[in-house]
Structure 1
């Protein structure tokens, strides 16, 4: 794979995955996915396809009017035969079910869903119905009559300031690692520090991190170029502290001969290939479990750590939304509005009406 075409190559692979999934959907679904293509990313469409695959599996395996019918034989008019009560039954079905593995239809995988998972799948079904109703290809829209499952607001899981420092210190020293982990530590130390510093210091997504190339960085002004979700490119900036750790890694990387086709990749795996999302997830878990065993730290939690720190320092929710690449500032507010409440409570304690 040519590094300069990494984003395009990834897009191609995801498109092929979507086409494979669509074979398990009714033929008229193609109209829907073609219609939403201009305004959605291929990853979003894949998520919709997975959700709709479950919905139509339920329809043909659990509802009497369609029981035993092949999904591929369904026509768009069949959507009018499904009631809001049927969709509520679908939500109950999602609590526990088995579904054929789309890669190997002869094997089944068991799943469970919380209200969060149910809400996402209902959103996919709603969008599907909305599209065909809007196009006047169906005359009913029962999905809109189904209440969205309630989700409990989860507190943001993030690293505190001292935990960030301890995490970087651990990677630097390797003192608390197991003997097995220490075998690879000296080889990967600079790379792991650079990855963690970049994630914690810029808030980029792990998918954006793995797509970085050597020529995406400009150390004259400490900037770098990333490809956002949806394919848009943007320029972000990093601190001098992050720059120093990136330069330390570059010095080590220059001594590595990349596997053919990976010459431009910035972060390399032990196999000398472009590092993958799974590898970064594992290295974060390895280090963070030692520092804060009670917190389940993922790449997204490091992103939350950066967003929290940036909002606390600036109080500018629009800046945070822009840097994190949120299309809708309400998404940012949802995650970081609680910090404003913390600040308000702190402010209440500052002003004293009587001297002690």
Structure 2
């Protein structure tokens, strides 16, 4: 019996990837970090929890690498009692340390990482969240992280946000259309030379239209890239002229799209059905 294939949606794939990374971090961190992560599961999304643990791991690494008293300890040996000994100056030292520190990239090569005030504030906020959890659960009797000063960020001026007018968008879309026409011509030439001998080859026209539609969606709706990647064909409602997206914070929303973009969405869907034979 042939096993049924299941298409994993973008959001599911991201969730699985984050959960795997969380499990990896928890293997290296003390047990109370697992309890901390569980408590945050009801408050924030999985990606934010992954980033929390990554920041906390970095904080523990700072402790073991810069403090002579703890240089021989593993990350798992950092106890709440050790954390309670920290002072405001220790948190300032951590903020300075993460502004530029050495680490490894995904391939294990040496790399220098830098953080702006935004990154420093986020990492300190993760550490503060851990301290708040430890204090509320009575692992520690005081919360020294409250003495840490977070970087003050300049608020964005909404009036500086620029929205492209139609006359500004049209030249850009003309370039996109020209690139699509050029790609489609190459695809047709490939069909003539090599024939339609695989499902991948058959899908090329639909893929080209998909890419074009994605650019139009980004420009005309202003949605985030992560929101765009989470879209499935079933999220599009031709009758309503809307597309369902999942916004930051796992909030579901419907976005109205122009008739022009609706047409491209329909063309992509039709090309997928026409070009690829169903088994």
Asked if the contact 1:80/1:138 (under 8 Å) is kept, the reply is: yes
Q: Secondary structure at the match of 1:174?
A: helix
1:174 aligned residue? 179
Q: 2:55 aligns with which of 12, 35, 51?
A: 51
- The higher radius of gyration belongs to 2
> 1:108 & 1:21 partners in 2: Cα distance?
20
**Which residue number in structure 1 is paired with residue 71 of structure 2?**
67
Q: Does 1:253 align with 2:272?
A: yes
Q: Do structure 1's residue 40 and structure 2's residue 44 form an aligned pair? A: yes
Contact 1:116 1:151 in 2 (8 A): yes
2:153 pairs with one of 148, 151, 154: 151
Matched, 1:197 2:216: yes
Runs of 5+ in structure 2 lacking a partner? Answer: 189-203
Cα distance, 1:9 vs structure 2:
4.3
TM-score by length of 2: 0.78
- Check whether the contact 2:9–2:230 (CA below 8 A) recurs between aligned residues: no
Post-superposition offset of 1:229: 3.9
Q: 2:6 — aligned with what?
A: 2
Counterpart check, 1:225 vs 2:244: yes
**1:215 equivalent in structure 2:** 234
Q: Which whole-Å CA distance do the structure 2 matches of 1:251 and 1:113 have between them? A: 46
Secondary structure of the 1:172 match is helix
TM-score relative to the length of structure 1: 0.63
Q: Which runs of 5+ in 1 are unaligned?
A: 264-356
- Call closer, same or farther: CA 1:53–1:100 in 2, change over 3 Å: farther
Residue correspondence of structure 1 range 1-356 to structure 2 within 5 A? 2-3=6-7, 7-101=11-105, 107-153=109-155, 158=162, 160-161=164-165, 162-174=167-179, 187=205, 189-257=208-276
Alignment deviations for residues 161-219 of structure 1 (CA, whole Å, 9 cap, x no partner): 243222211101239x9x99995799565323311222233333222222222222210
Report the CA distance between 1:31 and its aligned residue: 1.2
Task: State the partner residue of 2:193.
Answer: none
What is the CA–CA distance in structure 2 between the aligned matches of 1:5 and 1:195, rounded to whole Å?
Answer: 16
Tell me: CA distance 1:153–1:75, structure 2 relative to 1, closer, same or farther (3 Å): same
Cα 1:96–1:136 shift into 2, 3 Å: same
- Please name the residue that 1:283 is paired with: none
Q: Distance in 2 between matches of 1:5 and 1:74?
A: 38
Tell me, what secondary structure is at the counterpart of 2:28? coil
Write the distance in 2 (CA, Å) between the matches of 1:108 and 1:60: 19
Residue of structure 2 in register with 1:338 after alignment: none
Residue 21 to residue 153, structure 1, CA distance change in 2 (3 Å): same
**What do you get for the CA RMSD once the two structures are aligned?**
3.2
Query: In structure 1, the residue corresponding to 2:264 is in which secondary structure?
Result: helix
Q: 1:229/1:144 Cα in 2 relative to 1: closer, same or farther (>3 Å)?
A: same
| Structure 2 SS opposite 1:38 | coil
Q: Which moved more, 1:154-163 or 1:17-26?
A: 154-163
Q: Matched residues in 1 for 2:256 and 2:223: separation?
A: 11
Q: Cα distance, 1:116 vs. partner?
A: 1.5
- Per-residue deviation, residues 301-327 of structure 1 (Å, max 9, x unmatched): xxxxxxxxxxxxxxxxxxxxxxxxxxx
